[in-house]
C-alpha cells in the first residue's frame, strides 16, 4: 500500500507526529485537532492511514479510542511502540532558574512530577504537548517553559533546558495504524496480533464461558477491556487481543467457541506484531 498522507491527532511535534515520521518518512503527516477529525480524514479519503495512540504503560488506555474503533469502519493494519521522551524547553535566554510556570498536556505534567516539584514550578494544562511548545514560542517569556517531545523544540525554535524529565524510564505508548481496507498478513508469515470486539449474551457466567475457549485451545490473550455502549451502565462490550492469526487452527477454534456465548463478534484487525513485544517479554 502506498501511503501518501497519514493523519494524527495533535499539533506538529506531538508524539503521534514522531511515530508517523519514523514509520512513514515519505508520507505527508496531517495534523488534526481531534480524534474524530483523524477518523473522518481516513474514512473520507483525505488521508490513507491514521496513526492513533491506544495504550500507555503509565496512563493506561486512551479511552476515547475504544468508543471510536468499533463504529469507524476502519481496520487496524499495524502497531508501533514509542518510548516517550519529554524535554523541558523554552525560548532562547530561558534557564531552569528563570522558569516559573511549565505548560503541557495534563498526562505529561502528571508523568513529570519530580522535576516540577524540584523547581517549585506551577504546572499549567495545555491541550497538547506540542501545542504547549507552540504557545511558549509565541509568548516569548523566559518565565514560561513547556514539557514536550524533542521534535517540538526543533519545529518551534525552542531551546532544550532539560532532557528526559519523565519520572519513569519505561514510559511507552502503543500506536495503531488504521486503514479503510484490511491488510491481513498470511498465516504463518510471522507473529501477528488479532484485535476483536464482542458482546456477551445476558447469561450467568457468560464472560467466563466465552473466554474458556481461549484457555482450552492455548491462545494467549494479551488484552481484555470492557466499556459501556449506548449509554448503558452495564459493561457488555469487550475489546480483546490475542497472539495469533484467525486462520491458525487453535485461534479459529477459540473464536468459534466465542460465538456461542456472544451476540456479536467482529475482528477489527489482523496485523504483524511489533518486535517490541518480543523484546519486552
Distance from first CA to last CA of the chain, Å, rounded?
30
What is the SS3 assignment for 264? strand
CB contact at 8 A, 272 and 191? yes
Where is average pLDDT lowest: 12-16, 67-71, 84-88, 98-102? 67-71
pLDDT in tens, 19-45: 999 999 999 999 999 999 999 999 999
CB contact at 8 A, 261 and 68? no
| pLDDT of the residue at 235 | 60
CB contact at 8 A, 102 and 148? no
pLDDT confidence tier of residue 232, bands split at 50, 70 and 90: low
pLDDT above 80 (res 154): yes
**Judging by DSSP bridges, how do beta strands 49-56 and 5-9 pair with one another?**
parallel
The contacts of residue 239 (CB under 8 Å, 6+ apart) are 66, 69, 70, 195, 196, 197, 223, 224, 225, 227, 268
* CA distances for 208 relative to 214, 226, 261, angstroms: 11, 14, 10
Q: What is the pTM of this model?
A: 0.91
Neighbours of 258 (CB within 10 A): 20
pLDDT in tens, 155-201: 999 999 999 999 988 889 999 999 999 999 999 889 999 999 999 88
DSSP secondary structure string, 170-212? Answer: T-EEEEEEEESS--PPPTTSS-EEEEEEEEE-SSTTHHHHHHH
Rounded CA separation 168/60 (Å): 14
Percent of the chain with pLDDT over 70: 96
Calculate mean pLDDT across residues 231-244: 82
pLDDT confidence tier of residue 233, bands split at 50, 70 and 90: low
Residues carrying an active site annotation: 173, 175
| pLDDT of the residue at 64 | 73
Amino acid at each position: 500500500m502506498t501511503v501518501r498522507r497519514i493523519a494524527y491527532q495533535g499539533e506538529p511535534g506531538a508524539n503521534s507526529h514522531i511515530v508517523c515520521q519514523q514509520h512513514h518518512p515519505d508520507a505527508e503527516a496531517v495534523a488534526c485537532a481531534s480524534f474524530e477529525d483523524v477518523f473522518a480524514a481516513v474514512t473520507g479519503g483525505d488521508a490513507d492511514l491514521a496513526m492513533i495512540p491506544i495504550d500507555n504503560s503509565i496512563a493506561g488506555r486512551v479511552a476515547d479510542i475504544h468508543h471510536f474503533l468499533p463504529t469507524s469502519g476502519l481496520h487496524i493494519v499495524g502497531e508501533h511502540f514509542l518510548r516517550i521522551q519529554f524535554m523541558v524547553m523554552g525560548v532562547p535566554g530561558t534557564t531552569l532558574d528563570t522558569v516559573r510556570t511549565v505548560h503541557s498536556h495534563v498526562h505529561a505534567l502528571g508523568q513529570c512530577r519530580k522535576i516540577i516539584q524540584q523547581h517549585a514550578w506551577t504546572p499549567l494544562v495545555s491541550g497538547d504537548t506540542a501545542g504547549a511548545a507552540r504557545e511558549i514560542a509565541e509568548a516569548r517569556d523566559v518565565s514560561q517553559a513547556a514539557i514536550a517531545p524533542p521534535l517540538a523544540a526543533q519545529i518551534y525554535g525552542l531551546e532544550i533546558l532539560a532532557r528526559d524529565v519523565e519520572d519513569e524510564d519505561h514510559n511507552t505508548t502503543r500506536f495503531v495504524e488504521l486503514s479503510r481496507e484490511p491488510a491481513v498478513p498470511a498465516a504463518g508469515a510471522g507473529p501477528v496480533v488479532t484485535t476483536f470486539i464482542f458482546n456477551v449474551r445476558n447469561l450467568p457466567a457468560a464472560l467466563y464461558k466465552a473466554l474458556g475457549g481461549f484457555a482450552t485451545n492455548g491462545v494467549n490473550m494479551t488484552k481484555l477491556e470492557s466499556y459501556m455502549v449506548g449509554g448503558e451502565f452495564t459493561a457488555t462490550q469487550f475489546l480483546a487481543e490475542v497472539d495469533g492469526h484467525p486462520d491458525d487452527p487453535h485461534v479459529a477454534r477459540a473464536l468459534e467457541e466465542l460465538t456461542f456465548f456472544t451476540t456479536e463478534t467482529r475482528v477489527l484487525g489482523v496485523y504483524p506484531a511489533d518486535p517490541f513485544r518480543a523484546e519486552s517479554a
